[in-house]
Amino acid sequence: MTASNCFNGSLFDQLKRCHPHWQSLFSQPAIKPVLDNINRFLDKRLQAGAIIYPAAPFKIFEQLGPDDIKVVILGQDPYHGPGQAQGLAFSVPDNIRTPPSLRNIFKELASEYNNIKLERNDLNAWVSQGVMLLNTVLTVENGQPASHARLGWHSITDAVIHHLANQPHCVFLLWGAHAQSKIPLIMAGKGNHLILKSNHPSPLSASRPPEPFLGNGHFQACNEWLLANGLTTINWSLKQTDTKQIQQLDLNI
């Protein structure tokens, strides 16, 4: 079985495509040995015939530098099915069936913005506006959710979250207990933050107490805070006609 989003090669080759700031952060003495270990593990698994997603684990770090980021949406680990994971939390290609959590994200958006157009599963239009779609674990094996959760990825993504918590302004959307476990890390930062939290958009928890995802109002609250702090708001719409514009924005990053 093959899929276009399979990982193959070296993390360090991919790191060369990242924004220079992230290259510097990932080269620090506390992080580089962790990356070395993960890279060796991935190589061994590939040699053993494992299928690993996504093809570009560092994709979000290629597209955004720290100064570009206004909003962080934290996911857990990548989708574990063929063709799904893109290196952007919650996002899948447009030709892939909408995953259940993403359907609930769209349902919440539609309830907050009556006229919003949501015609895409690919969330690059959000990324190009400064929304960091960050999974805390960056690789996974086919059909095995959380299979790479103990590789050490958290040490790397925690360093990223801590770094962003020291940026002047940032909104953190924390859905579910895993994402909310990063609150102390965010609160330790010196930046001006808005932390919005609720249950995860998964069908298992989206409507349940204590803080249902559906009805949380996070997208409007995020934009209100950005506006109050003199920042450009996020256009959450996802229209098929945006494709050429998104591609051009990607080329300019």
Active-site residues, by number, are 77
Hey, what are 82's tokens? 């063929």
On whether the CB atoms of residues 63 and 250 are closer than 8 A, the answer is: yes
* DSSP assignment of 92-107: --TTSPPPHHHHHHHH
Token couple for 60 = 């979000």
Distance, CA of 188 to CA of 164 (rounded, Å): 11
Instruction: Read off φ and ψ for residue 192, nearest 5 degrees.
Output: -95, 110
Structure-token pair, residue 3: 């899929």
Q: CB of 114 within 8 A of CB of 222?
A: no
246 touches 119 (CB < 8 A): no
Asked if 16 and 61 count as a contact pair (C-beta separation under 8 A), the reply is no
Bridge partners (DSSP) of residue 131 are 71
Crossing angle for the helix pair 153-165 and 32-47, to the nearest 10 degrees: 140
3-state DSSP call for residue 149? coil
Q: Which residues pair with 144 in a beta bridge?
A: 141
Looking up tokens 């996802």 gives 238
